[in-house]
Chains A and B, each alone.
Chain A
């Protein structure tokens, strides 16, 4: 049981480049989410999904795109990278029930945009 896995661990992009951050979980969790962590700002929700084919926006969705074709995978796409997207990105998953379930987090992807 690998839990939540993320790839890559580190990435450096140039402004304007696009890329996909991968996230997978093997716990059959319906709910998956993406956060970014910036110093002094905690974690901010980018996008989330309550099941395959269903996604919704979080607090800071601009510049990011997601899709959920399977229960296991929830990739995050940066359409045109900007320096403001330099951050640490975390994927998380949980069983689905409004409110009550704690999330399991991946190890994170550290992204630098030059």
Chain B
């Protein structure tokens, strides 16, 4: 069965410092990996995805993520955090199960960027 783990409930960083939000996954076949962000009282917004190709994926708002097949990880990164990056971040995966139509989300990691 597909699964996603986000091992940190919360990540705290100072503004201007680099940030990393961790994600590991388990899936049959090649994974399709996604990061979404949720601001308070809003729906989720897409940040970036890995389908195939270059292991380093760049997305919206200066975020990037690195796909590591051997470690089954897809960590979200940003070189310099902003206070406005404070939000809830979700990692998600789709595999070949159910024809690739089921997206499984992690529990979420709350990012807090301090000024």
Contact = CB atoms under 8 A, between A and B. Distances in A.
B68 interface: no
**Size range of the chain A interface in the assembly:** 20 to 34
Contact of B101 (A42, A48, A59, A106): A48
B13 interface: no
Interface of chain A: mostly helix, strand, loop or mixed:
strand
Nearest to A106: B43
A83 interface: no
B46 A104 contact: yes
B14 interface: no
Contacts of B107: 40-42
B99 A98 contact: yes
B2 to A, nearest CB: 10
A45 B32 contact: no
B102 A100 contact: no
B5 to A, nearest CB: 10
Interface in B36-78: 36, 41-46, 49, 51
Contacts of B90: 42-43
Given A42-B107, A42-B108, A43-B105, A98 B100 contact: yes
A92 B42 CA distance: 13
B43 A108 contact: yes
A41 B109 CA distance: 11
Given A105-B45, A108-B43, A99 B32 contact: yes
B42 A56 contact: no
A41 B49 CA distance: 21
Interface of B: 4, 6, 9, 32, 34, 36, 41-46, 49, 51, 90, 92, 94-96, 98-108
Interface of A: 4, 31, 33, 35, 40-45, 48, 50, 56, 58-59, 90, 92, 98-100, 102-108
